[in-house]
Amino acid sequence: MDNFTFCTPTRYTFGRGAEDKVGEIAASLGFRHPLIVYGQGSAVRSGLLDRVVKSLQDKDIECSRLGGVKPNPEDDLVIRGIEMCRENVEIDSLLAVGGGSVIDTAKAIAAGACYDGDFWDFFCGKAKVEKALPIGVVLTIPAAGSEGSGNSVITKREGQVKISIRTDYWLRPKFALLDPELTFTLPAYQSAAGIVDMMAHIMERYFSPTEDVEVTDRLSEGLLLAIINEAPKVIARPDDYQARANIMWSGTLAHNGICGCGRAEDWSSHALEHELSALYGVTHGAGLAVVFPAWMTYMADHRPQKIAQFARRVMGVDLADDRAAALEGISRLKAFFTSIGMPVTLAQLGVSDPDIPSLVTRLHAHKGDPLGVYLPLSPSATTAIYRLML
Amino acid sequence: MDNFTFCTPTRYTFGRGAEDKVGEIAASLGFRHPLIVYGQGSAVRSGLLDRVVKSLQDKDIECSRLGGVKPNPEDDLVIRGIEMCRENVEIDSLLAVGGGSVIDTAKAIAAGACYDGDFWDFFCGKAKVEKALPIGVVLTIPAAGSEGSGNSVITKREGQVKISIRTDYWLRPKFALLDPELTFTLPAYQSAAGIVDMMAHIMERYFSPTEDVEVTDRLSEGLLLAIINEAPKVIARPDDYQARANIMWSGTLAHNGICGCGRAEDWSSHALEHELSALYGVTHGAGLAVVFPAWMTYMADHRPQKIAQFARRVMGVDLADDRAAALEGISRLKAFFTSIGMPVTLAQLGVSDPDIPSLVTRLHAHKGDPLGVYLPLSPSATTAIYRLML
């Protein structure tokens, strides 16, 4: 187990009607005038945004609004949000009403509003976030885990560069309100993509070269077992409150850092997927359902031990040989993804003729060479992994 | 899953040499003059206290000192600490250097110093903690989990009443430094008692009447599996860093609340044990090793479902009938406790002739009737459970 620091200060309020407490909680934490960030209108159409504003007004909290955030959120809205914060000095906080893209946009605005230069400096490594406006969240999509993480992923439109940053403290929301009922209306495909995304957040941390991390391993396996148990219920019955609740809380724990304590994290599957999203506009979670089994299949031949542990402890495989166990576990994982309507090949993802050389070139240009830590990957390795997705 | 709120703001610094960062971290959080609380001298003899003071002095942080905290900490030292805070207005924080008893004493002082009345008001339910001095921790004994919890357990010497309080926020430490190397010198019996205590913290939450909490169940089972895997290594080789590290972090997660999210918690086994500690002065964790199997055995006859789930998922039992599975799981749990040197009967605990009527009368007088929530217990039920410990 490696040395680590860990702090998750977010105040979670979880359950039916949680969003109606937004005014009370925001007031108690000193929010006086948040900029509300939201997506492409579903929060408006459902009446959620009106309820949020009403709850704030009941506590004499003013607000400004910035809508229109899209999946794989881009820098243009971040820039607009930062301008709004600069133009209206009353704005003292951010309130994200939506899923990961909305929250990540709010986070980038929160950091950029406290920084004199271009906010992209944080994403390209030129500057470190050392201050940010406080952020609150009303979560509507369980997937990205951004409601509990210190991370933000933004795509720079120019060049379609998708970059993730992580802070220990500043970008962690001060509060997050999680009402599973808000997720009843999510389409099955989006629910399933979210489920893959949260599983991937755990697996990126689980497939680590660090040994003797039994406690973090077991926690990760427990979360994966819970997700695999609850996911089919969510797909079969979108208004199954208990299953939605289990999935929603799993999504938060998958990415708040608890599954990474004490070990190096890999994240090469996310990097492989980010290039697919950037070039082909695929849904992040669906892309991960294609990438992860391919990455694991490569590892079954090159470093099978942890893949075999996953197969035995999570997928119930009972085979003594590591490679055989790993391959059987991957086969069961693919069957699970298929069962919830996710693709497991690039063709199923809608990418029929992928430009693998281009993906590989961009990947290593953006994320370095070698990539990852479980088994560091050269361009020839990542080429092989993209080919395993065909 | 029930609605819940959850916030764990403690900043953890985990690993070799963590305690040497105490000055830096305390300074960054604004501690100017902590009252250092410690135990019966081991932190002095080992030189740890000197290193802590030196680290503070290096950051121009003054300190006062209050030593002598004993296991099952009593109110007298809390009162002395509160007096010290009142006499010296420079004291602005608490720094606990020790295990659960030391931390719980520091917490009670932190709350009492900000309260005009008798600090015991918080424990007997007359007042609620609404303010406290900030608390930091250098942990030396993994067991109580107080380094991450909002709880404190204090015994009132007059009448030997041992009471636990829980706060959502105020009594959670601002920071906790966890160095597994500091636990190398713990005697095997104390290590084992700590291991039982942390398992009990998980099990009190796990044996819940709330259904459909798969995510919290799986997390709890994962932690228990990790502890059961690592515990024998700690007993066999006290300086096994990796095993000590896994156990230390497990103890924090066992009690920071994550295993309780979304469900009612039982806590009747702790209540049953507190009376044993109060009347016979037994070690808390050793007492729990006797109490928990007895409580579970009673439940095998009256509400076996969750005991059977524990047996199957944690103890590896493969029996279809719930009662049979539960009993086999309890048998394996007892064998595990025995294997790490813990008692499983009152006689093994050194209580050869227990006054069960007196224990039962005190228990319900202090903790109410009925007791617990998994299956609420009347005095006849708790009498039966104490008899199962014989």
**pLDDT of A7 strictly over 90:** yes
Nearest CB among B4, B7, B16 relative to A15 is that of B4
Q: How confident is the model over A100-116, as pLDDT tens digits?
A: 999 999 999 999 999 99
Q: Which of residues 200-219 of B touch A (CB under 8 A)?
A: 211-219
Q: How confident is the model over A38-71, as pLDDT tens digits?
A: 999 899 999 999 999 999 999 999 999 999 999 8
Scanning the structure block, which residue is given the tokens 């016979």? B280
Q: How confident is the model over B71-120, as pLDDT tens digits?
A: 889 999 999 999 999 999 999 999 999 999 999 999 999 999 999 999 99
CATH 1.20.1090.10 in chain B: give the residue spans. Answer: 188-387
Give pLDDT, residue B170.
93
3-state secondary structure of B140: coil
Q: How confident is the model over B296-324, as pLDDT tens digits?
A: 999 999 999 999 999 999 999 999 999 99
Q: Which of residues 248-267 of B touch A (CB under 8 A)?
A: 249-250, 253, 258, 261-262
Q: Which residues pair with A36 in a beta bridge?
A: A65, A95
DSSP H or E stretch at residue B152: strand B151-156
Residues A283 and B53: their CA atoms lie apart, in Å, by 54
Q: How far is B157 from chain A (nearest CA, A)?
A: 36
Q: In this structure, are residues B1 and B161 in contact, taking their beta carbons and an 8 Å threshold?
A: no
**pLDDT of B245 strictly over 90:** yes
Give pLDDT, residue A337.
98
Scanning the structure block, which residue is given the tokens 């007096």? B83
The CA-based dihedral angle spanning residues A162, A168, A174, A178, taken in that order and rounded to the nearest 10 degrees? 60
Whole-prediction pTM: 0.97
Residues A139 and A102: their CA atoms lie apart, in Å, by 9
Q: In this structure, are residues B370 and B378 in contact, taking their beta carbons and an 8 Å threshold?
A: yes
Residues A132 and A151: their CA atoms lie apart, in Å, by 13
Tokens of A13: 């309020």
DSSP codes, B67-127? ----SS-BHHHHHHHHHHHHH-TT--EEEEEESHHHHHHHHHHHHHTT-SS-THHHHTTSS
Give pLDDT, residue B96.
98
CATH 3.40.50.1970 in chain B: give the residue spans. Answer: 11-183
**Whole-number percent of chain A with pLDDT over 70:** 100
Give pLDDT, residue B252.
98
Match domain B188-387 to its CATH number in 3.10.450.50, 1.20.1090.10, 3.40.50.300, 3.40.640.10: 1.20.1090.10
Nearby residues of B13 by Cβ (< 8 Å), 6 or more positions away: A5, B21, B25, B175, B176, B177, B178
Give pLDDT, residue B163.
87
CATH code at A11-183: 3.40.50.1970
Give pLDDT, residue B41.
87
Residues A216 and A334: their CA atoms lie apart, in Å, by 24
Give pLDDT, residue B72.
87
**pLDDT of A162 strictly over 90:** no
Which has the closest alpha carbon to A199: A175, A176, A167, A222?
A: A222
B159 pLDDT tier (thresholds 50, 70, 90): confident
Q: Which of residues 220-249 of A touch B (CB under 8 A)?
A: 220-223, 225-227, 229-230, 242-243, 245-246, 249
Q: How confident is the model over B9-28, as pLDDT tens digits?
A: 999 999 999 999 999 999 99
Which of A13, A214, A228, A263 is most worth mutating to test chain B (most B CB atoms within 10 A of its CB)? A214
Chain B hits for A18, Cβ within 8 Å: 3
Tokens of B195: 């291991």
- Averaged pLDDT of chain B: 97
- Averaged pLDDT of chain A: 97
Chain A hits for B249, Cβ within 8 Å: 1, 215-216, 261-262
- CA count, 13 A, side-chain hemisphere, A265: 21
Give pLDDT, residue B369.
96
Q: Which residues pair with A161 in a beta bridge?
A: A156
**pLDDT of A168 strictly over 90:** no
Q: How far is B360 from chain A (nearest CA, A)?
A: 37
**pLDDT of A379 strictly over 90:** yes
Residue type, A337: F
A130 in reach of chain B (CB within 8 A): no
- Cβ burial, residue A228 (10 Å; 0-12/13-18/19+): buried
Give pLDDT, residue B370.
97
Nearest CB among A1, A18, A223 relative to B218 is that of A223
The CA-based dihedral angle spanning residues A242, A247, A253, A259, taken in that order and rounded to the nearest 10 degrees? 120
* Over residues B348-352, mean pLDDT: 97
